[in-house]
Structure 1
Amino acid sequence: MSKENLYEKSYFSRLPELNDLAPDAFKAFVQFDKAAMAPGKLTGKLKELIAVAVAHTTGCPYCIDVHVNGAKKQEATKEEMAESIFVAAALKAGSAAAHGVNALNAYDGSGGEELYKASHFNRFKELGELSSDGFSSFMNFSDETMKDGALTAKEKELIAVAVAHTTGCSYCIDVHTKGAKKQGVSKEELAESIFVASALKAGSAAAHAVNALNAYDDEK
């Protein structure tokens, strides 16, 4: 009989079984994950907050649980956690909005063979002319999420860069990498935020393996 509840905290206890099934890959991932999350140019606390944001982007409930608890252990406040989540929300929505320039090119039959060019983003404001209320509401939300608050604008840009690498939005990566640089972010800090995103995106796939184990064992 298949499990009715597809997600329960207890299922995560099956994760070590992967070490028995694919030991080399499992150990390599754990080593990478530990290295990505270790304090470096970025504090352990900020890395956990980046992880929380990315986990909300991937939608992995196990990762959310693990990294919210990790952030709490690093003394992140509930306000800091909430702000990191809203940066993720703005970037996830922003990815869809930014790709609207590709939709405009497709609709108009313009843009040529190259689907991604930095100059294509110049059409972004056209979306405001076509859907003014939606555009202005989104821009207001996006601007508010990136302001100094419980987290600094610099910290928020680092979170935004990580989330943009998770959504795979080239325009967002360009905008927020430049925004991070303006906030004084170093290349080393940038790289660390990207590796947290990498670890969480891989971690989401690994964590969901417990559901695959459940499904495999349920099927007779």
Structure 2
Amino acid sequence: MGINDIGKQLTKLPSIHPKFFHKYRSFADDVWQKGVISPTEKEIIAVSVTTITKCSYCTQFHSKKAKKIGVTTEELIEGVTIATSIETGTALIPSISTEIFQALGNDSQEEQLGKIFPDQYKHLHDLLILPFVDSVGILPTKLVILISYAVAHALRSNEYIKKLQIVASKHNVSEIELGEASLIAGALRAGSTVRHLADVLDIFDVERR
């Protein structure tokens, strides 16, 4: 289904399950309409996180919203690049066995990876440190941290969440801003799940034809 077809199916939810939809919609509206993070920043965060939640409808929806309020392609691409960095790290580090890390001593996991993969590590390192450097590209450092924090929550990576809390404190990112970033991640995870109800509704519509 295309984005318009999905949207049409989702408009049926209020009449099918009004109590659930009201609670979900109220939560989502609070996330997108209230808070200290600007609408522009929220949409950049949203597009970045939707690439992690694997919701193409959500990516298209928030990309269109972002475009309408003046977000550039370059800003969105950079946000997704940050998301890629976080996802790479969360996928790779747990895949290295604890026994190997222990055998290499007390070095950080990043340093240990350099010993395990000396040839590949240079480029891997450059990718993994993107969320932790002061200047990545055109996005301000605070927004890079908020994108990273939202993505880490979407991936449920406690290791990255803890690291980013330390980075955030060094760059005067408030707890309220971090909290809002985590709520954005929560809203998008919920939205990506709700989106699949459109597929369910479409199947039943096909059977009725």
Question: Shorter-normalised TM-score: what interval?
Answer: 0.7 to 0.9
Q: How does 1:82-121 map to 2 (within 5 A)?
A: 82-100=77-95, 103-105=96-98, 107=99
Displacement of 1:72: 1.4
The aligned residue for residue 54 of structure 1 is 49
Amino acid at match of 1:88: A
Q: What SS does the aligned partner of 2:97 have?
A: helix
Q: For the structure 1 residues 124 and 144, does the alpha-carbon distance in structure 2 shift closer, same or farther, using more than 3 Å as the test?
A: closer
Q: For the structure 1 residues 71 and 127, does the alpha-carbon distance in structure 2 shift closer, same or farther, using more than 3 Å as the test?
A: same
The aligned residue for residue 164 of structure 1 is 152
2-structure distance, mates of 1:130, 1:90: 19
Displacement of 1:39: 4.3
Amino acid at match of 2:197: A
Task: Using the aligned pairs only, state the percent identity.
Answer: 28
Unaligned runs of 5+ in 1: 1-6, 111-119
The aligned residue for residue 190 of structure 1 is 178
1:68 aligns with 2:56: no
The aligned residue for residue 127 of structure 1 is 113
Displacement of 1:130: 0.9
Q: For the structure 1 residues 104 and 210, does the alpha-carbon distance in structure 2 shift closer, same or farther, using more than 3 Å as the test?
A: same
Alignment size in residue pairs: 203
Q: How does 1:18-33 map to 2 (within 5 A)?
A: 18-33=13-28
The aligned residue for residue 5 of structure 2 is 11
Q: For the structure 1 residues 151 and 166, does the alpha-carbon distance in structure 2 shift closer, same or farther, using more than 3 Å as the test?
A: same
Amino acid at match of 1:21: I
Q: CA RMSD in A?
A: 2.3
Q: For the structure 1 residues 121 and 56, does the alpha-carbon distance in structure 2 shift closer, same or farther, using more than 3 Å as the test?
A: farther
TM-score normalised by L of structure 1: 0.84
- Tell me if the contact between 2:93 and 2:109 (Cα under 8 Å) persists in the aligned partners: no
- Tell me if the contact between 1:121 and 1:171 (Cα under 8 Å) persists in the aligned partners: no
Unaligned runs of 5+ in 2: none
Amino acid at match of 1:8: G
Displacement of 1:104: 2.0
